[in-house]
Structure 1
Amino acid sequence: MKFFEAFANVFRIPDLRNRILFTLAMLAVYRLGGHIPTPGIDANRLEDYFKQNAGGIFGFFDLFSGGMFRRLTIFALGIMPYITSSIILQLLTVVVPTLEKLSKEGEMGRRKITQWTRYLTVILALFQSAGIATALQAAGTTGGGFVLNPGMGFILMTMISLTTGTAFIMWLGEQITERGIGNGMSLIIFTGIVIGLPTAMMEIYNNVFVTRQWNPLQMLIILALMICVIALIVLVERGERRIPVQYAKRVVGRRVMGGQQTHLPLKVNAGGVIPVIFAQSLLTFPQSFLQVEWIKNNRWIAGILESIGHTQPLYFILYTALIVFFCFFYVSIIFNPNEAADNMRKFGGFIPGIRPGKNTADYMNRILTRITVVGGLYLALLSLLPEIMISGIKLQRLPLVGNWIDSAFPRWLLDGLGVSFYFGGTSLLIVVGVAMDTVNQVEAQLIMRHYEGFTPKAGRIRGRRSSV
């Protein structure tokens, strides 16, 4: 009852109600633009081509565009150029002194970095749209036949259409962040993924009750597994290691300041979905080279690229290693134990039982290393489990033991269950994380206006910092 009462309070507050309605209106505009096709493309033939090449780099882009890329609408690039430019500038903040200085200047510095992010987004969109137009034109002329009028005119028109669409999506996201309930860019990705849920549910229904490819027990196992994965995501995304910090008392004039005890929270999954995006980008990008004729005809190069393709054992090993590596890489950028220990010492803080300075930094670094390993393995498990369910893992292709594995291992592990729902590892992490953040934003607005939140007995819902 408390939850429904809090939900009703959302629409009793005029400002919060207007923010939610504005957010829904902007998301409706985003979905409307997703049905406007780019000129010069046969959408039906292009969609057939995507079904045949779902595992490549185009399929990766299609995930973040909410299925718009396979139809090449004006929003086909989605928010990926903005995500890429944000990550690039975030990485450059560590190595470029000017950006590092701007990041410490508060609101004015943040606005300047945001402006540079917009410019870089447009530049990346121009390059990506030119590459996509060229690739589609080459693929269309070799067998797809979906480019109606190949040539420079098609490339320029595609560049203008896709870049303008990306700029407009970026503007929509910023409007939702400023005038809506916040987290605009993440909500746009969330909408693009969730919109495919009815289709996914219909496919499961057809597999169970129409074509009878699955029996009801398999459906129950799949649904139970999805619920368990969602529960795992909620548990880990809210998980944090709290380091106790004690501040010594200080006398300033006639006042005694400090003396309180607080904690330093270190999140288990500080990188969010970014390590998965990095790892998936590096592994899916080489697959696009298999479309090049001379690479396809080169047995040695083609064999290497095929060995790191989806469902291959080497792909799973590299995927796990890259996710863990990028977890450490990203955490090292956003959190510096030496700087945190120095700031703690300057303000009179210390960790009980640990000497200030280097010992404090080493202590925090040890804890951060342990929880980052756990976070990386969690992301790897979350990303690989749906892929195994969809397509399996081709262990029978291993040398020497392949024939024995093919006869001894269960077929569902080797060939998958053919589960073609949209909630894979990356998409499910984004959906659950963004949903938690959105509920947290709404609950903060309720508490600020002296209303009870969604969970008044358990305290506020803790969302995770959005990384998309």
Structure 2
Amino acid sequence: MFETLKNAWKIQDLRNKMLFTLAIILIFRFGAVAVPVPYLDPAAMQNMINGGGNLLGFINILSGGAFERATLFALGISPYITASIVIQLLTVAIPALERMAKEGEDGRKKINKITRYSTLGLGVLQAIAYYVMLRNENAVKYVSGFSGVFAAVVIVGSFTLGGLIVMWLGERIDEKGIGNGISMMLFSGIVSRGPHVIAMMYQYLKIGDQYYFFVPAIIALFVVVIGFIVLMTQAERRIPVTYAKRVVGRKMYGGQSTHIPIKVNMSGVMPIIFASSLLAIPGTIKAFVDPQATGFWGKLLGVFDYNKPVYAILYFLLIIAFNYFYVAIQYNPLEMANNLRRNNGAIPGIRPGKPTSDFIAKVISKVTLVGAIFLGLIAILPIALGAIAKMNIALGGTTIIIVVGVALDFVRQLESQMMMRHYKGFLE
């Protein structure tokens, strides 16, 4: 990885792209740290997040701590991520969007435009919902009269504008930088919390007792987990395919053997994001209505707290379910079998048509199960460790998968860029 970065830095074009990406990330971090939103009390917002069990903690992690600081980029990229997921799901359900997705570059531009407008709408709704929650938790300094109305407009407008600026910054990275823009925003926000995690581990060491064992053990375990994530992210099941020879005009095509790669972690972190968002709803409702802790609703909503066993079990099962759902909308075995038949391709030992479709579906189902269990175990690992060691594991499995996946994708894009330029030092 470091050798790839070193070689890429020697190429002026790639160096300019990396510097541009770094500049955009610095702008994002500046807005997340040093541009406060008026009329908000950061101390009250930190108390809400420290309560745990609600969506705000997840949003705060994705925004790199911007939410607890009550800054401009408090919403981070969550509106854009939600809009992208919704449009992606609707592309499968709505024929007009599906046709648009198959129109190539023009269709992609139209879908991106729809996603931007959806981001604006979701950003406004999300900002209003957070304003109501913050007002109920006494995190807003003015809540009555004209001052209250003006404060509401400023807070909602600032949150929405911040979400749109983050989306625009991510698109600039896609256009002129290296890597996926939104992923780089996520990466920078999560990595920025590294010093906070180190300080927290140091505080546990100062306490002493059992933490002298647990802190080094957790650090060593997370190093092993990172290696395991890299292995599983790059792992794939290859379905062999052979193409028959055919004559077109005066040329002969086909006759070669290849494979269809089926990645073990086909869905990335999307199932974890879906499951986290769904399980965060009870905690968010709890923050809205503030029920009595000893009452029926207080006990019911308390079952879904982050540190309860029920949360971990439901989290694991939902990740498996969403993993199958996400893979089902991404891969169509019947379409894959028809494409093989049209191109005179076949899987050795499998008849064309429905047998091929059934075989591909069976392979995808098995690989999906392995990938789903992998995601589920990584996601609940910090919860289990926190319960055993009585510690607050700040960086969860979701964030580790995001960081590792984005780093691998960034290096992969650098390597492909250097190969396009026939960089001799890289090919040696």
Q: Give the secondary structure class of the aligned counterpart of 1:360.
A: helix
Classify the secondary structure of the residue corresponding to 1:219: helix
Per-residue CA distance 1:289-337 (angstroms, 9 max, x = gap): 2234474478333322222222222222211111000001000001100
Give me the whole-angstrom Cα distance separating, in 1, the residues matched to 2:289 and 2:83: 31
Q: Give unmatched runs, 5+ long, in structure 2.
A: none
SS in 2 for 1:430: helix
Q: Which amino acid aligns with 2:285?
A: F
* Alpha-carbon separation, structure 1, partners of 2:302 and 2:167: 36
**Separation in structure 1 between the aligned mates of residue 86 and residue 58 of structure 2, nearest angstrom:** 19
Q: Following superposition of structure 1 onto structure 2, how do residues 308-387 of structure 1 map, counting pairs within 5 Å?
A: 308-387=304-383
The correspondence for 1:166, drawn from 157, 163, 166, is 163
Partner of 2:266: 270
C-alpha separation in 1, matches of 2:294 and 2:4: 63
Alignment match, 1:464: none
Which residue number corresponds to residue 232 of structure 1?
A: 228
Q: 1:378, 1:452 → 2: CA distance?
A: 38
The normalised TM-score by structure 2 is 0.95
Identity between Structure 1 and Structure 2 (%): 43
- Worse overlay, 219-228 or 74-83: 219-228
Question: Partner of 1:451 in structure 2?
Answer: 423
Are positions 1:84 and 2:82 aligned together? yes
Change (3 A) 1:453 1:331: farther
1:261 to 248, 254, 257: 257
Matches within 5 A, 1:375-414: 375-390=371-386, 392=387, 413=388
Structure 1 residue 451: deviation in Å? 2.2
Question: Offset at 1:159?
Answer: 1.3
Q: How far apart, in 2, do the equivalents of 1:160 and 1:335 lie? A: 39
Match of 1:421 in 2: 394
Determine if contact 1:203/1:420 at 8 Å carries over to the other structure.
Answer: no
Aligned residues of 1:207 and 1:214 also touching (Cα < 8 A):
no
In structure 2, distance between residues paired with 1:163 and 1:292:
20
2:406 alignment partner, SS class: helix
Deviation string 1:94-151 (CA, Å, 9 cap, x unpaired) is: 11011000111111101110010000001000000000001100111xxxxx311112
Q: 1:370-427 deviations in whole A, cap 9, x for unaligned?
A: 111111111110010111222x1xxxxxxxxxxxxxxxxxxxx3xx3314332x1110
Where does residue 157 of structure 1 map in the other structure? 154
* Distance in 2 (alpha carbons) for counterparts of 1:273 and 1:258: 37
Which deviates the most, 152-161 or 79-88?
A: 152-161
8 Å CA contact 1:133, 1:154 repeated in 2: no
Correspondence for 1:203: 200
Q: Which residue of 1 aligns with 2:36?
A: 37
Stretches of structure 1 that go unaligned for 5 or more consecutive residues are 141-145, 393-412, 458-468
Distance 1:190 1:41 in 2: 26
Distance 2:278 2:398 in 1: 15
User: 2:405 aligned to 410, 433, 458, which one?
Assistant: 433
> Is 2:208 the partner of 1:212?
yes
Aligned to 2:241, the other structure's residue is in SS state strand
Aligned residue for 1:19?
17
Give the number of aligned pairs: 423
How far, CA to CA, are the matches of 1:387 and 1:421 in structure 2? Answer: 10
After superposition, the Cα gap between the structure-2 partners of 1:113 and 1:298, relative to the gap in structure 1 and judged at 3 Å, is: farther
Please name the residue that 1:406 is paired with.
none
CA–CA distance in structure 2, aligned partners of residues 253 and 447 of structure 1: 33
Determine the structure 2 residue equivalent to 1:410.
none
- SS in structure 2 at match of 1:327: helix
Look up the match of 2:47. 48
| Structure-1-length-normalised TM-score | 0.87
Deviates more, 1:213-222 or 1:328-337: 213-222
Question: What is the distance in 2 between the residues matched to 1:6 and 1:283?
Answer: 40
| Inter-partner Cα distance in structure 1 for 2:158 and 2:274 | 27
**Residue 44 (structure 1) shift:** 2.7
Which piece of structure 1 moves more, 101-110 or 149-158?
149-158
Residue 109 of structure 2 aligns to which amino acid in structure 1? R
Tell me how far apart the structure 1 counterparts of residues 292 and 357 of structure 2 sit (CA, whole Å).
51
Q: Which amino acid aligns with 1:181?
A: I
Distance, in Å, in 1 between the alignment partners of 2:319 and 2:116 is 27
Contact 2:133 2:288 in 1 (8 A): no
- Rounded to whole Å, the distance in 2 between the matches of 1:19 and 1:58 is 34
Shift of 1:443: 1.3
- The Cα of 1:202 is off from its aligned counterpart by 2.2
The Cα shift of 1:269 comes to 1.1
Cα displacement (A) at 1:165:
0.8
- Going from structure 1 to structure 2, the CA distance change for 1:97 and 1:297 (only over 3 Å counts) comes to same
Judged with a 3 Å threshold, the aligned counterparts in structure 2 of structure 1 residues 227 and 158 are, in CA distance, closer, same or farther, namely same
Looking at structure 2, the residues matched to 223 and 214 of structure 1 have their Cα atoms a distance apart, in angstroms, of 15
Give 1:213 shift: 4.9
Residue 254 (structure 1) shift? 1.1
Which position in structure 2 is the counterpart of 1:186? 183
What is the rounded CA distance, in whole Å, between the counterparts of 2:360 and 2:186 in structure 1? 34
Match for residue 140 of structure 2? 147
Q: Is the 8 A contact 2:17 2:176 kept in 1?
A: yes
Per-residue deviation, 1:260:
1.1
- SS in structure 1 at match of 2:137: helix
Indicate the RMSD between aligned Cα atoms, in angstroms.
1.8
Offset, 1:201: 1.3
Q: Matches of 1:5 and 1:235 in 2, distance apart?
A: 20
State whether residues 243 and 264 of structure 1, in contact with CA within 8 Å, keep that contact through their aligned partners in structure 2: yes
Range with bigger deviation, 286-295 or 190-199: 286-295
CA shift for structure 1 position 81 = 0.5
CA contact (8 A) 1:389 1:418 kept: yes
Q: Is contact 2:305–2:311 with CA below 8 Å preserved after alignment?
A: yes
Pick aligned residue for 1:223 from 208, 219, 225 = 219
